[in-house]
Amino acid sequence: MSFGQLSVYRVMQTLPLDRWAETYLVSLVPIPAARTDDDIVAALTVVAQRHESLRSRFLDGPRGPGQVVSPTWHPELVHVELPGGGAEEATTAIRDTCRRPFDWDAGACWRAVVITDGGRPVVLGLIVDHIVSDGWGLRRVAAELRALLGSGSDRDEELLAAAPPQPQQLADFQRSDEWRRRRDATTRYWDGLLRDLPADVFPWSTEAGSVGRLGVVLRSARARYALGVAAHRLGASPHNVLLSLYAIAAREMLGLPDLALTLQAGNRSLPRWQGIVSSMNQYAPVPVVGAPVGGDFARLTETVSKMSLRAYWHGMYDLDSVREQVFRARGVELDFDCFFNWQAFDVRQDAGTGPPPDERQAVVERVHPSRQVGPRLDLKVQGGDGLSITVRVDPSLLSAERLDHLVRWFDHELWTIATSTECDTEQMTRRCARAVRG
């Protein structure tokens, strides 16, 4: 297995089997008029032949977990009649077809669902186990299907014409002498984490079997505007501005001066592997140790920026080797908490020359997280017309009411950073304390 596949394999083993389906990814591909089931099956067959992860079983053998690739795959379509349904209804219907988890030993760990309206195919839904692909890879699969079904863009056609790299090639590369220096550097990075972070902070010890999460999302055009302006003023990336605010919030919620935040390393910076359809994501812990709490927010952002860059750089690793390294040092199993998942890649630094959006347009909505297990604290950031900040928490940490106040704190602080000449982290921390404690 590649390192990303291995990470998914091991992480999923820590979750109850009946919760696996909560982690599955869904993609929707519009079906052009006059396309038949035969057309859809033909397109799926071509795509499956192009990407070995779509034809793979994942087994734990004598030499450890491995990927077994079948030479061919014959798709079977599931049909769901959904008259007039939108994307949200289609996604729900597709998820409903996977109440039981995929069997890694049995065959392809994904499914094709045709949404029909009056018997006419309108949407092809793909639901995949995360070990098959991450979101980036799934977007390529969807692009190739659009091209094969006749609705693809020029970029979709380019992806279909290009020969994709394969997970087995990546697995060989990651264990080769060519990658040895990076493997050794990653070992040293984890040695540093174990040296600098207190034993009661890292690795995180989440309560076994803890189930149940609260969720709330802030959707705000003003927050997007403010984040771009704040990043421009600070000379930092929008990612690191928001990560620094998250560090303040996590410290305050957990009552810890030192902690480890967990980034989601996409591991697609090497051009050779950018187009792979596989799971590349791995957890990248970033230490927040001794970073300034009382002082200028710019100093905190500078410190967090350096730490996050190092974490991402060392985000491709053999999880089994790291788990052994951690257990030798601490005598406990490796676990992760305080997740930060940045998906707002369209948000850029902004000089703020245009008028800011009206703050009254901000919406705070409580949501039911599809994942009811996992980290106790999880923040996901998405772009689009506005900025979406979704926070998922264990209710033992925060009530639903306090969670509403927390996401509004993010909105307020982004505006403060964008518009104020002085941003004191101690004042930010006090405002955060009022938000989460009242």
Please report the pLDDT score of residue 99 as a whole number.
Answer: 80
Considering the chain, tell me which residue range(s) the CATH 3.30.559.10 domain(s) occupy. Answer: 3-165
C-beta pairs of 356-359 under 8 Å, 24+ apart in sequence:
356/222, 356/225, 356/226, 357/220, 357/221, 357/222, 357/225, 357/386, 358/222, 359/220, 359/222, 359/411, 359/415
In angstroms, the CA 6 to CA 282 distance is 9
Quick one: pLDDT at residue 232? 95
CA dist., res. 381 & res. 383, Å (int):
7
> What pLDDT, on a 0 to 100 scale, did the predictor assign at position 208?
44
Specify the pairing of strand 339-343 against strand 377-382: parallel
CA geometry: angle 323, 102, 83, nearest 5 deg: 135
Distance from C-alpha of 343 to C-alpha of 213, rounded to nearest angstrom: 21
SS3 category, 285: strand
Whether the Cβ atoms of residue 104 and residue 59 lie closer than 8 Å to each other: yes
Where does 3-165 sit in CATH, by number? 3.30.559.10
Go through the chain and tell me how many residues it has.
438
Q: Are 313 and 438 in contact (CB under 8 A)?
A: no
Give the contacts of 214 (CB within 8 A, at least 6 positions apart): 366, 369, 392, 393, 394, 395, 398, 399, 400, 403
Stated pTM of the model: 0.90
Domain with residues 176-437, CATH architecture: 2-Layer Sandwich (3.30)
Instruction: Give every CB contact of residue 428 below 8 A, 6+ residues apart in sequence.
Output: 245, 248, 297, 413, 416
Whether 66 contacts 58, CB under 8 Å: yes
HSE (side-chain half, CA atoms, 13 Å) at 368: 2
Alpha-carbon span 205 to 202, nearest angstrom: 8
For residue 79, give the 3-state DSSP assignment. strand
* Domain limits, CATH 3.30.559.30, in the chain: 176-437
- Tell me the β-bridge partners of 66: 59
Report how far residue 433's alpha carbon sits from residue 110's, in angstroms, rounded to the nearest whole number.
44
pLDDT by residue, tens only, the chain of 438 residues: 999 999 999 988 877 777 788 889 999 999 999 899 999 999 999 999 999 999 999 998 888 899 999 998 888 899 999 998 889 899 999 999 888 889 998 878 999 999 999 999 999 999 999 999 999 999 999 999 999 999 999 999 999 999 999 999 999 999 999 999 999 999 999 999 999 999 988 998 765 446 678 999 999 999 999 999 999 999 999 999 999 999 999 999 988 888 899 999 999 999 999 999 999 999 999 998 765 556 889 999 999 999 999 999 999 999 999 999 999 999 999 989 999 999 999 999 998 888 888 877 789 888 877 666 668 899 999 998 889 999 999 898 899 999 999 999 999 999 999 998 788 999 999 999 999 998
